[in-house]
Amino acid sequence: MRAAPLILLLGCALVAGCGSNAHAKSASSPAAESLHTLAGFQPPALAITHAATRGVAPGLLFLAEKGGASKPGGPVIADNRGRILWYLQLDHPLEATDFRTQTYRGKPVLTWWQGTISKAGIGRGEYEVYDRSYRKIATVKATKGLDGDLHEFQFTPRGTAYISIYHEVPADLTSVGGPRDGWVYDSVIQEIDVATGKVVFEWHSLDHVPLTESLQAGHEPAKHATKKRPLDYFHVNSISDAPGGRILVSGRNTSAVYLLARDGSIVWRLGGKRSDFGPPAAVKFRFQHNARLHPGNVLTLFDNGAIPKVEPYSRPLELKLDLKSKRASIVKSFVHPLKISSPFEGNLQLLPDGGALVGWGGVRKVTEFTPAGKVRFEVKLPFGDTYRGYRLAWNGNPGGKPAIAVDAGHVYASWNGRLGIDHWDVLGGADAGHLVKVATKAWTGLETDIALPDPPHTVAIRAVDAAGRVLGVSDTTDA
């Protein structure tokens, strides 16, 4: 991460908020080469630091590689060997976050946010929805002249989606040691009907959460907040449905999770300065991300504990809530053997067997744990970071044909997003009417390089699955 003045580090989200990619410039990974079959694409080279062991959960890895100022990034689907199955490279300065599968109108879709990210970790952009053929079917935008922020794009069964928004507004900050004519970010939640773009619910933190709940109250971010650098007193970073038609919201800079009624009122707080749950030692967390409620009053979150660093390491937590007695207790914690401390971002995904997949946010790793908290798989990104990481089922098919390129005695084959390819056959001959198989190579990822020192005049490639079925054949090209 780039050096920053201490004055800003006290306001952790102002320098390296949940979407910060400031550290991307300092990465030492070599520059990726462009692919031959996908012009200009430079997919990240994922490194497996802990090979998948027995019992690893089914599904593929979903990452949103942020490249920063010097490298391209975009949504990535990969397998347990780090091989990329689908990649969409975004044009600089666009970045992507929160890439995953969700359900829309009863069908699986790909969703993510894309836009630009400020040094304060605040996004300005919109939200994309793609079908299983990797075709865009919807774009969701914030309304009322506001910009959609990077932190949340959460679908509901109602055909709506929650989005997060940061809105700079003038405010009297004297209650938190700031100027009377200061500026603050109002954390805004909109629930948008995906089909119509209409707002069906809206919530403003400033209407319900006082400035004094912020852990930045009395510190430098509040004392000299300006329009150029507003006080980010709440910092919404996750939103989701909760039982009874309620809404669960996480505020990073209040270090609290809020349950909201549909009228916007706060039903209860967990953590922070005004927690409704005890004992305090059992529910202490700081600068958390990705709060989610699960059946049985189980709540999960990613407890960063930094920055500023107030805990020795980050703790992805599973909590049990007793709503009658207002007690909370830790059921499980997935702590990395290296005691990783993530300064920003991060998520915890519970897996069906009781294990978990953890995206470490500001530390560019994604780790899968057993139910006992042992590492059973881990992947490392070469640069930047991924705001969240997921393991999810997916059955995409782009249609069309494989792509082929020939250069200097090599045949290059790809079919971006086509699952189930086991190997490639190279077909060659004097012309398109007389092709026979001249080489075979196992599928190696987004683009497979097949050496062919003396290629025939005309070549094509054929995608074949593990059962020997032909999935598709490319157009022919002259070698």
Give the whole-angstrom CA distance, residue 97 versus residue 63. 8
The H-or-E segment that residue 163 falls in is: strand 160-171
H or E element that contains 206: helix 205-208
CB-based contact 348:317 (threshold 8 Å): yes
Cα separations in angstroms, 326 against 249, 321, 333: 18, 7, 21
pLDDT value, residue 453:
87
Predicted model pTM = 0.93
Q: Can you give the pLDDT at residue 10?
A: 35
Which residue from 110, 106, 104, 108 is spatially nearest to 88, judged by alpha carbons? Answer: 110
d(CA 241, CA 210): 23
Show the domains of the chain with their CATH numbers.
Answer: 6-392 (2.120.10.80), 406-478 (2.60.40.10)
Q: What is the mean pLDDT of each run of 10 residues along the chain (479 residues)?
A: 32 44 39 85 97 96 91 96 98 96 98 95 97 98 97 98 98 98 98 98 98 96 95 98 97 98 98 90 89 97 95 97 95 97 98 97 98 98 96 98 96 98 98 96 98 93 98 96
Q: Distance (Å, rounded) from C-alpha 258 to C-alpha 301?
A: 13
pLDDT of residue 40: 94
Q: How far apart are CA 389 and CA 348, in angstroms?
A: 8
The pLDDT, as a whole number, for residue 17 is 52
Predicted local confidence at residue 296, as pLDDT? 96
Cβ atoms of 153 and 163 closer than 8 Å:
yes
Question: Under a CB-based contact definition with an 8 Å cutoff, are residues 232 and 14 in contact?
Answer: yes
Element spanning 150, H or E: strand 148-155
Question: Shortest CA distance to 208 belongs to which of 136, 132, 156, 262?
Answer: 262
d(CA 466, CA 86) in angstroms, rounded, equals 19
Closest by Cα among 138, 259, 284 to 203: 259
22 Cβ contact partners less than 8 Å away, ≥ 6 residues apart: 1, 2, 15, 16, 68, 119
CB distance 180 to 173 below 8 Å = yes
Find, among 97, 154, 89, 90, the residue nearest to 122 by Cα: 97
Residues 307 and 143: their CA atoms lie apart, in Å, by: 32
